[in-house]
């Protein structure tokens, strides 16, 4: 018999994927359940924690996540100012820790819960990894079996890091417990090929479920090319320290 570990609360060890900013009263568990079951078929289960009605364990089949609506005031000191929000209250959604092969489904489930809370509160979700704001109309709806890497991983660029090169990199692979990818492009050339390469490499890494070692090669069948991991380092492009693996074709 397999023993299921209790899913963790949003914490410094397992930070939430999304903050949910809203005004007024948080949705009740039955409201989120009704919305989710209508959207995705369900059944969604919600179990409030004993003695903490604002803290829920939510699940659908094998997928689970943890919701806190709202976060205690002690956890949000300075956060509204940091996010430039006028919302009175802030909630959080964190996925459960799962094996790498199950992380895409788990991340997708947490995103669906965040979408529902954004719609029900008419508030704003904040993707902590990519630093994107999502209003109710900004969410990309997918059916239950659809996972699109671009919904969770974005490609960014920075032309200030080096005088003769443009730094292109992913933001979002860390959601899946993996290092981000980066690639340098000579200034003056189109960044599109570099971004396409990184996007396809991110998709392949999520499929594989782990960060490749330095020196290893990865075949990208859609692009018909092979990339090699040539370096590993840390950097903080948006003020948050992340690990990066440099790719070259």
Q: What digits encode the pLDDT tens for the residues 208-220?
A: 888 999 999 999 9
**Predicted confidence (pLDDT) per residue in 154-212, tens digit:** 999 998 888 889 999 999 999 888 999 999 988 888 888 999 999 999 999 998 888 99
Contact present, 136 and 180 (Cβ < 8 Å): no
pLDDT for 14: 59
pLDDT for 144: 59
Name, in order, each residue with C-beta under 8 angstroms of 174's C-beta and a sequence gap of 6 or more. 129, 180, 242, 243
| Of 134, 91, 113, residue with least CA distance to 36 | 113
Band (pLDDT 50/70/90 cuts) for residue 103 is confident
**Predicted confidence (pLDDT) per residue in 15-31, tens digit:** 799 999 999 999 999 99
Burial class of 201 by CB neighbour count within 10 A (0 to 12, 13 to 18, 19+)? buried
Whether the pLDDT of residue 13 is over 60: the answer is no
The residue-averaged pLDDT of 66-89 equals: 90
Domain boundary assignment for the chain: 18-145, 150-248
């Amino acid at each position: 018999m397999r023993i299921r570990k209790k899913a963790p609360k949003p914490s410094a060890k397992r930070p939430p994927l999304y903050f949910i900013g809203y005004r007024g009263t948080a949705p009740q568990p039955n409201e989120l359940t009704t919305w989710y079951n209508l959207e995705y078929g369900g059944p969604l289960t919600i179990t409030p924690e004993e003695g903490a009605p604002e803290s829920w364990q939510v699940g659908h089949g094998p997928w689970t996540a943890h919701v806190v609506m709202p976060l205690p005031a002690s956890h949000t000191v300075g956060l509204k100012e940091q996010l430039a929000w006028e919302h009175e209250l802030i909630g959080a959604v964190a996925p459960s820790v799962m094996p790498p092969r199950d992380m895409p489904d788990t991340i997708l489930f947490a995103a669906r819960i965040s979408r529902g809370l954004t719609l029900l509160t008419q508030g704003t979700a904040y993707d902590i990894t990519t630093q994107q704001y999502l209003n109710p109309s900004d969410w990309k709806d997918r059916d239950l079996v659809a996972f699109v890497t671009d919904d969770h991983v974005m490609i960014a660029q920075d032309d200030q890091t080096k005088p003769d090169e443009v730094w292109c990199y992913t933001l979002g692979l860390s959601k899946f417990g993996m290092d981000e990818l980066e690639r340098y492009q000579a200034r003056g050339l189109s960044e599109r090929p570099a971004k396409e390469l990184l996007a396809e490499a991110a998709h392949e890494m999520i499929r594989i479920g782990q960060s490749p070692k330095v020196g290893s090669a990865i075949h990208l069948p859609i692009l018909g090319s092979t990339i090699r991991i040539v370096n590993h380092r840390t950097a903080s492009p948006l003020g948050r320290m992340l690990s990066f693996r440099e790719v070259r074709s």
